[in-house]
Amino acid sequence: GQQVMQIPQYQHVQEGEDFTTYCNSSTTLSNIQWYKQRPGGHPVFLIQLVKSGEVKKQKRLTFQFGEAKKNSSLHITATQTTDVGTYFCAGGYGGATNKLIFGTGTLLAVQP
């Protein structure tokens, strides 16, 4: 079946340092979505990537979708304490099925 793995599981950084999380799917994806979940909260959509090799930016966040559409990454430049939370990628398996499988998540802790 489809599986989506993320590394690392946990990352602790000093405020101002950069952070990257990586996502890998066992099968080719239709699209990749990224979500952020604050402690005690629910996942909130950040962005969707659809095209092979696509790169998108949101302020200090940079998202990439691999050429083979099986992997993705999220990079945060100069982390802030507000970045704390768990970042999930979610693999979309396409079209009429609309199936969305979440990755294992990366918990980011930022020390002021």
- Which residues lie near other proteins (CB under 8 A)? 1, 30-31, 33, 42-45, 48, 50, 88, 90, 92, 94-105
Tell me the three state secondary structure of residue 16: coil
Nearest approach in angstroms of CB 78 to other proteins is: 26
Q: Nearer Cβ to other proteins, position 62 or 102?
A: 102
Tell me the three state secondary structure of residue 82: helix
Q: Nearer Cβ to other proteins, position 77 or 101?
A: 101
Q: Nearer Cβ to other proteins, position 66 or 92?
A: 92
Q: How far apart are CA 80 and CA 74, in angstroms?
A: 15
Q: How far apart are CA 49 and CA 92, in angstroms?
A: 10
**One-letter amino acid for residue 103 of the chain:** G
Please give the structure tokens belonging to residue 106: 């990366």
Nearest approach in angstroms of CB 97 to other proteins is: 6
